[in-house]
Amino acid sequence: MTTRFLAATFTAAATAALLATSHAAFAQASGKIKVGLMLPATGTFAALGTAIENGFRLHVAERGGKLGGREIEFVRVDDESDPAKATDNVNKLVKRDNVDVLVGTVHSGVAMAMARVAKETGTLLIVPNAGADAVTGPMCAANIFRSSFSNWQPGYAMGDVVAKKGHKKVVTITWKYAAGDESVKGFKEAFEKAGGTVVKELSLPFPNVEFQALLTEIAATKPDAVYTFFAGGGAVKFVKDYAAAGLKKNILLYGAGFLTDGTLEAQGADAEGLLTTLHYADSLGTPRDSAFRLAYAKSYKLQPDVYAVQGYDAAQMLAVGLEAVKGDISKKAEFAAALQKAKIDSPRGAFSLSKSNNPVQDIYLRQVSGKENKVVGIAAKALTDPGRGCRL
């Protein structure tokens, strides 16, 4: 009697436990995937955040709202491109909203805070812009991926281009923060290896746009050329101020392609002819890119830019990972292994990920012509960020 009672109790408990387990597994693989979008909705990078979100949503919509069989739900935070608020913002998404995956952001300083929390908590993170070298360098992790670039990549590619043009003395100018510093560092590495000299490194705090005193200093220094990293609203003003100061005619201006991406409407004739390096351009003309551009323009009544592509590819990367684990996002090792093996069918051209999860990609040399960044060549083929300091 007692034995039978115990057996019956055991069976009931075991059944309940089994039911609970399978219920959890079912919920895990069938409920919605919560994507925490942490992007700037205000400030100098606001338009960049919008383009990234548009691109991400476009790819999700193309798949009927589901990735790996699971519906996608968004939770959004405006990070204001403010590193001082970044840890609180990302903790809200991870701890309060319990997101399954983080997608963000534009600003390198904010992205480093996201990477820190992602690493500590094991939350998946896909970075759809910020180039902070550390994210796929010393801070790299198996759960941290980038769909964009490292700050080193466009800078390094441009260093070679400017040296090959025969320029010997260059002044650099940028915002004083990780992205500006690292873009200049990449430029300098290639430029000086090829025999050039960076004679002066000018900077101002992010996101200031009081360029006048620095432009006067450039005029007085008389370098052969200038290399710059600015983006968003700041890039619009820099290009206009450079021309207004009368420098454009005398000292060639080169930049990481953010200088003229998503900004040409506002820069007008002041941007005409500028040469920049980037992993995207407006005139690729491949069937893949043309289809993407058409779909984007139809959905948003806007022309896409590099930020839209990076957002779109972040969704493609999430799709690859989720498909490999059949929607069970708790299988992080399999998710990561699938991305390590994947070729992402990007509008920029297909890319794979380096060991530290940064895109291995061609860097185009582009020239502004009218309202487009036209390809004039490939500055660096299949450029791989060295991933310095990454141990994976």
Q: Is 227 in the site for ligand PHB (CB under 6 A)?
A: no
Q: Residue 151 in 3-state DSSP? A: coil
Torsion, Cα 228 42 237 232, to 10 degrees, reads 40
Please give the structure tokens belonging to residue 355.
Answer: 């060991």
Q: Is 373 in the site for ligand PHB (CB under 6 A)?
A: no
List the interface residues with ligand PHB, window 36-65 (CB under 6 A).
45, 48
Q: Select from 129-137, 272-280, 317-325, 341-349 the region that touches ligand PHB (CB under 6 A).
A: 129-137
Q: Select from 31-39, 104-112, 207-215, 237-245 the region that touches ligand PHB (CB under 6 A).
A: 104-112
Angle of the 83-91 helix axis to the 108-121 helix axis, nearest 10: 30
Cβ nearer to ligand PHB, comparing 280 with 335: 280
In angstroms, the CA 252 to CA 218 distance is 11
How many positions of this chain bind ligand PHB (CB under 6 A)? 13
Q: How far is the CB of 220 from ligand PHB (least distance, A)?
A: 29
Interaction pattern, residues 297-336, with ligand PHB; x per rule: CB under 6 A: ----------------------------------------
Q: Select from 34-42, 106-114, 136-144, 216-224 the region that touches ligand PHB (CB under 6 A).
A: 106-114
Interaction pattern, residues 253-292, with ligand PHB; x per rule: CB under 6 A: -----x----------------------------------
Other C-beta atoms closer than 10 Å to the C-beta of 286 total 12
Q: Is 83 in the site for ligand PHB (CB under 6 A)?
A: no
Q: Select from 115-123, 124-132, 281-289, 348-356 the region that touches ligand PHB (CB under 6 A).
A: 124-132
Please give the structure tokens belonging to residue 48.
Answer: 């960049």
Q: How far is the CB of 24 from ligand PHB (least distance, A)?
A: 39
The residue among 243, 329, 231 whose CA lies nearest residue 29 is 329
Cβ nearer to ligand PHB, comparing 149 with 211: 149
Other C-beta atoms closer than 10 Å to the C-beta of 278 total 28
How far separated are the first and last CA of the chain, in Å rounded? 58
Q: Select from 86-94, 127-135, 166-174, 330-338 the region that touches ligand PHB (CB under 6 A).
A: 127-135
CA torsion sign for 44, 45, 48, 52 is negative
Q: Which residues neighbour 383 within 8 Å (Cβ) at sequence distance 6 or greater? A: 153, 156, 157, 360, 361, 362, 363
Q: Is 139 in the site for ligand PHB (CB under 6 A)?
A: no
Q: Residue 117 in 3-state DSSP? A: helix
Angle of the 306-324 helix axis to the 46-62 helix axis, nearest 10: 40
* Sequential DSSP letters for 157-177: HHHHHHHHTT--EEEEEEESS
Q: Is 106 in the site for ligand PHB (CB under 6 A)?
A: yes
Q: Is 107 in the site for ligand PHB (CB under 6 A)?
A: yes
Interaction pattern, residues 156-195, with ligand PHB; x per rule: CB under 6 A: -----------------------x----------------
Q: Which residues are near ligand PHB by CB under 6 A?
A: 45, 48, 106-108, 129-132, 151, 179, 231, 258
